[in-house]
A and B are shown apart, each in its own frame.
Chain A
């Protein structure tokens, strides 16, 4: 059984239909990459899974539990973390406070904290600094750290490499590889090289519909498909 299953999901924002028919099976473990052009519906898919936009009709099931009618907070408590495109950092709070908010009982598990400091050493350096004072890359690290400070089953990450320097992107890729060893990641990405280096399975969304789904290895080998779905030239 898939960890996450989307069936004929349709989402409208106001009067505009953004997702027309999204059906997707995300298996447990590893990184599942959702690719697509700008405005194809990648972010809307993630937000619909989190309940931030209500999909109707259609269904979203996580380990068999129907998320469609659930409140975002209840979805998060099932073990699903969300790293939005704008990172969702609380700028007025310190790095420590941002992470405390993501814990279930307001205290840190020592091992989890040490893992975060090892993956993202800058966060330890700026532990007591207000989050607004961090660089773009450090904010992204904090956003990801917030998603892994507690054990999660699924992390939804929306375009984590956007606007980041190559060295930060490499660090982020290493972190995702380690995280995906015991947590499933559903990654929305436009940076194909980054996505290819991480993804095991993938899907392409185009105009609110899943246009292709399969293994990343097959998609990487098929340059015609890449050209037609993502306008990527070989």
Chain B
């Protein structure tokens, strides 16, 4: 076993895990077209979960805040985007790709703007009084999630809301006998763009350097002359906006959303952050892709195990790497 783990580390380490999972699934599934469809679905799902989880990972790593209310931003993002898409239904149904794109762009923009504003409010009113107290953080942020769910019920009602998709993202691309849903490709590409933008910001900018340093040692960043509390607010707002964007993407993916969306996603988002390793964007992406792939493969191969698959995955990974796949250095 020891030799196998050393060999894995030597040949690319944990980054190869999704490939290994896909490779094993290929033989278990046996039908190439089904495997391609499930793999694309898993990658798209993973990217959307990455959007939701990346902010939480940074907030967790940098601020040491256990924000169980994070998925409230996912819910609100989904509902805000659904409302905007509903108002722009005419543009969505248009044959013009430009109008289609404008509608979805505005919906995402509204979700991001809401996430930024709500993130600022949430940090100032709910999080700030409970810094350094994990128990109170858990209680108050879970309470906030319940309040958010009730607010959604009050504003949008309890009936599931149908989320229209733009014409240009409807249907599938056929490649031989493989059908790939356009929306999934779009979700994957958008997630990839966000990942690259985050990676660039964290690795190539001074603010990114400060965030990476802050994840490791907040006190020392302050002793070097930087107000990390201000950085906290910015990171919290961006994390909330990313969650809202993830929620907006998820709404278009599911096409039917309910006020319980946030609570349903909360566990998955936390699993991804824990699997990936706190404070690490690369780890969060890896964790999200793993969760997406495993959920789709297991859902096909053993539907009864689908619900438990994420938990089993987390247990296995934590037994192997207790700090997650790619934790930020602490």
Contacts and interface: CB of A to CB of B under 8 A. Distances in A.
Given A71-B227, A132-B329, A93 B219 contact: no
A73 B209 contact: no
20 contacts: A52-B219, A73-B223, A73-B228, A76-B222, A77-B225, A82-B223, A88-B219, A88-B220, A90-B213, A90-B216, A92-B212, A92-B215, A92-B216, A92-B328, A93-B212, A93-B216, A97-B209, A101-B213, A130-B329, A132-B329
A72 B226 CA distance: 8
B206 interface: yes
Contacts of A90: 212-213, 216-217, 220, 329
A113 interface: no
A101 B224 contact: yes
A146 interface: yes
Nearest to B329: A92
Contact of B223 (A72, A92, A93, A130): A72
Contacts of B209: 93, 97, 100-101
A72 B222 contact: yes
B324 to A, nearest CB: 14
Interface of B: 206, 209-210, 212-213, 215-217, 219-228, 328-330
Nearest to B219: A52
A104 B226 CA distance: 10
B227 A88 contact: no
Which 6 residue pairs are nearest across A and B when measured between Cβ atoms? A92-B329, A88-B220, A76-B225, A91-B329, A72-B222, A82-B223
Interface of A: 50, 52, 71-73, 76-77, 81-82, 84, 88, 90-93, 97, 100-102, 104, 106, 130, 132, 146
A90 B221 CA distance: 9
A92 B225 CA distance: 20
Nearest to A88: B220
A76 B217 CA distance: 16
Given A91-B329, A92-B328, A132-B329, A146 B212 contact: no
Nearest to B330: A91
A91 B330 CA distance: 7
Nearest to A97: B209
B94 to A, nearest CB: 47
A189 B8 CA distance: 45
Contacts of A52: 219, 222-223
Contacts of A76: 222-225
Contacts of B210: 101
Contacts of A92: 212, 215-216, 328-329
Contacts of A132: 329
B213 A93 contact: yes
Contacts of B216: 90-93
Given A100-B209, A101-B209, A73 B225 contact: yes
Contacts of B224: 73, 76, 101-102, 146
B203 to A, nearest CB: 9
A90 B209 CA distance: 10
B212 to A, nearest CB: 6
Contacts of B212: 90, 92-93
A83 B202 CA distance: 25
Nearest to B222: A72
A111 B329 CA distance: 31
